Structure 1
Amino acid sequence: MLSSQRRVLYIGITSHIERRVRQHKSHTFGGFTTKYNVTNLVYFERYGSVGKAIRREKELKNWRREKKILSIEANNPKWRDLSYGWYQPARLPALPKSSRSPPA
């Protein structure tokens, strides 16, 4: 789950979390996360199969906002950006064109 400063929430799946979060932070693609500046990784889970990840994504998306917040706060009470230190946000270079394809 990603969050903005105003705690707008975004849920998605990826096979490469570091790359995907970087895409959100650098606004590589337009859309919801760019419009609402949703760039902080506040919660994530890892799964061994795409099918399990998709089922969990659908489950989380069906949760009420309050339940999502409780889950985040149980694991990350200060809503810290869990991707902090993965890269230097102030120096994010443009991604190569091969990395710009929209996620599957």
Structure 2
Amino acid sequence: MKWLHVQQNWPAFYEAIMDKWPEVDEADLDEIDGDQRAFIAHLAEATGQEAADIRDELREWLAGEIPSDVVMDPIHDNHSISLSAKYVNEGEDEYDDDARFGDDDDHRGDGD
């Protein structure tokens, strides 16, 4: 992913950022508001690491996939689905309807 994806969807990345860097909290992220330089400076101060080391960590983190719950658009969704094909058994289609696994709207047995 690119920083632009993170910046454009900044609040949606809070959980992923706080998982990776527990030194930050939501108030810090609100203040940073997607500014990469401010984010690196904050992490360097919070962790005591050099900014160059933080940039390397950030570059490595950005090399991962965009979390599927962050960006919802047909191109990204279809790309994510096609990547999931490696987890689908041979002979099955990753685009198949999964209705046979149960109705998500069926609330029987949940106390209603």
Larger radius of gyration: 2
Q: Which has the higher contact order (CA 8 A, sep 6+)?
A: 1
Superposition TM-score, scaled by structure 2 size: 0.26
Greater share of helix residues, 1 or 2? Answer: 2
